[in-house]
Amino acid sequence: MSLRRSPTGGVIRGACVGRASPFVVELSEAEREELEARVRRHRAEQRVALRARMILMAATGEENVAIARILRVAPNTVLKWRKRFCCERLAGLADRPRSGRPPLFAPEVLAHVNAVACERPAA
C-alpha cells in the first residue's frame, strides 16, 4: 500500500503514486500521423483506438497512472502497451496470436471438402 500526503497535510492510504515510466515514448512524424489516424478512424476497433490514445498521451509526457485514470483502464495496461510500443514500435500494438486447439484437418483437406460441397449434384 502506498502513502501520499493530502493537500491538508494528512496521509491518504492506498492512493496511487505516479512515477516516471522507464519507457519514454518519442514519436516520429509518421508514427504520430498513423496513431492519430487510428484514433479518428470511424470503423476502427475500440481496442486499437484505445492503444493509440495511450501512446499519444505517453508521448506528451503523461505518467501511466494519469493516462489510466483518464482512459479508465488499469495502470498495468498502460505500462504493457507503452513497453510494447517502445520495443516494437507500431507493430507492437497489434494483437498477438493466441494459443488454442490445433486444427483437426489440413488446409488441403478443407479445400477439397469445400470444393465438393460447392459442386452441383449429379443428375
pLDDT tens column, 29-88: 999 999 999 999 988 899 999 999 999 999 999 999 999 999 999 999 999 999 999 999
Strands annotated E in the chain: 3-5, 11-13
Mean pLDDT, residues 108-123 taken together: 89
Q: What share of the chain in percent tops pLDDT 70? A: 84
Taking the model in full, what pTM does it have?
0.66
pLDDT band at 19 (very low <50, low <70, confident <90, very high): low
Q: What pLDDT was estimated at residue 18?
A: 57
Grid-cell match 485514470, residue found: 69
What is the DSSP-derived secondary structure letter of residue 23? S
Looking at 11-15, 36-40, 41-45, 101-105, which range is the least confident one? Answer: 11-15
Cβ neighbours, 10 Å, residue 23: 15
Q: Which of 57, 19, 16, 13 has the alpha carbon at shortest distance from 35?
A: 57
Domain residue ranges of the chain, discontinuous segments joined by +: 23-95
CA pair distance 8, 11, nearest whole angstrom = 9
